[in-house]
Amino acid sequence: MTQKQSGHPTAEEVLHILKDGNKRFVSGKLEHPNHCEESRQSLIAGQEPIATILSCSDSRVPPVDIFDQGLGDLFVVRVAGNIIGDHSLGSIEYAVKHLHTPVVVVMGHSSCGAIGAVSSGATLEGHIATLGPAIQTALKTIPDAAGGDQVNNASKELARQVSAKISQSEPIVADLVQSGKVKVVPAYYDLTSGEVEFL
């Protein structure tokens, strides 16, 4: 059964679809929509994903499964620590401008290895070091009221900061956000429960 309807869904409708999909994922009652031969064939000529997801590359955090979606449903950009750089931002710009996704979800997660490494003071070698500055900023700006695990709190803060950076990115995303055509939403995935919290 397909979840796509005629016309483009609104940001609120997309968030509802994602939340419902995550509930199915958590409960183990997955529908695995749009995984059939018919769905695959229908996508040969083009794509109309309902949402753009920026998530960590962590193998335990697959957005299509976490939101119980299928082929063509999500435009997924993945990079360690779900940080933003020129290439990932360009990919997001393509999705909102040309594929017309009304929602960009920036999804951090619990027990993030990249954040844990920076938090512990580990030396980041090679190009891995480029992940450090954004994570360090998040670690330094965790709200004072935040209790609990530092790495998980930093993951939430990083999702918020990256969301703000994407929202303010000129000219493409900022214009679409200001006109109300696109919503950028930070989120946090808990590895233990399987639940996604929209921040």
Residue 167 inside a domain? The answer is yes
Residue 162: per-residue pLDDT: 97
**Tokens standing for residue 116:** 């844990």
100 pLDDT more than 50? yes
Q: Are 151 and 122 in contact (CB under 8 A)?
A: no
Residue 132 inside a domain? The answer is yes
Residue 144: per-residue pLDDT: 72
Angle, vertex CA 146, rays to CA 196 and CA 165, nearest 5: 65
Phi (first) and psi of residue 186, to 5 degrees: -80, 145
How many CB atoms neighbour CB 160 within 10 A? 20
Residue 198 inside a domain? The answer is no
* HSE of 50, CA atoms in CB hemisphere, 13 A: 26
Residue 136 inside a domain? The answer is yes
Residue 147: per-residue pLDDT: 80
Residue 43 inside a domain? The answer is yes
Our count of domains for the chain comes to 1
Q: Can you give the pTM of this predicted structure?
A: 0.92
Strands ordered across the beta sheet of 74-78: 74-78, 51-55, 103-109, 183-189, 196-198
Per residue in 39-69, pLDDT (tens digit) is: 999 999 999 999 999 999 999 999 999 999 9
**Residue 136: which CATH number?**
3.40.1050.10
Residue 129 inside a domain? The answer is yes
Residue 183 inside a domain? The answer is yes
Domain with 37, as residue range(s), is 11-191
Task: State the DSSP code for 36.
Answer: S
Cross-strand partners of 106: 54, 186
